[in-house]
Structure 1
């Protein structure tokens, strides 16, 4: 699953959740946006916040709410729970389970 920040139709950066079926990896991908634009778009969407150029914290409930309605696999919920359990085991999940630490990747050159 990818949360990406891209320039929207009105040239205002927007956050969107894509590849919702791929629960084997999760990261934040930045298009051609500044760190400030990315931070603003992520917070405006309610999906999380940018900590720095390499790390973001995503809101687990908001991420699930954005992804689950578009998921088509019958075992999606089970795989989601496994992804969250794996993140907890790696130390990427906050103690209360509300925030998930993810890596930031630049998609600008892609």
Structure 2
């Protein structure tokens, strides 16, 4: 799943690919991206911390029948690797 942050918007590209999670900044600085992310996550170093709720909302509809299961598997994998916050409601993604 690729999250794209561009001026004033957050969107998901390749939302059906749940074997990776990455963030791309498109035509925005880190400071501008941080403003766009307010309420959805934050930038910290070379990472974006995104709420699980935001990731679900960004995935387009309709989705495949197994999307929710694969999404939960992605989140469980991130949790097992320590890529989530203490409350397990925010997941870390590389900013490319």
Task: Give the distance between the partners of 2:63 and 2:53, measured in 1 at CA.
Answer: 19
Q: For residues 71 and 2 of structure 1, do their structure 2 counterparts lie closer, same or farther at Cα, with a shift above 3 Å needed?
A: farther
* Aligned mate of 1:50, from 32, 43, 62: 43
Moved over 6 A (4+): none
* Structure index of larger Rg: 1
* Aligned mate of 1:65, from 47, 54, 57: 57
* Aligned mate of 1:75, from 46, 66, 69: 66
TM-score of the aligned structures, taking structure 1 as reference length: 0.79
Indicate the RMSD between aligned Cα atoms, in angstroms. Answer: 1.4
Q: Would you say how many aligned residue pairs link Structure 1 and Structure 2?
A: 96
Is the aligned partner of 1:5 residue 2:12? no
The answer on whether the counterparts of 1:20 and 1:70 sit within 8 Å (CA) in structure 2 is no
Which blocks of at least 5 consecutive residues in structure 1 are unaligned?
8-12, 106-110
The answer on whether the counterparts of 1:20 and 1:71 sit within 8 Å (CA) in structure 2 is no
Which blocks of at least 5 consecutive residues in structure 2 are unaligned?
none
* Aligned mate of 1:28, from 19, 23, 37: 23
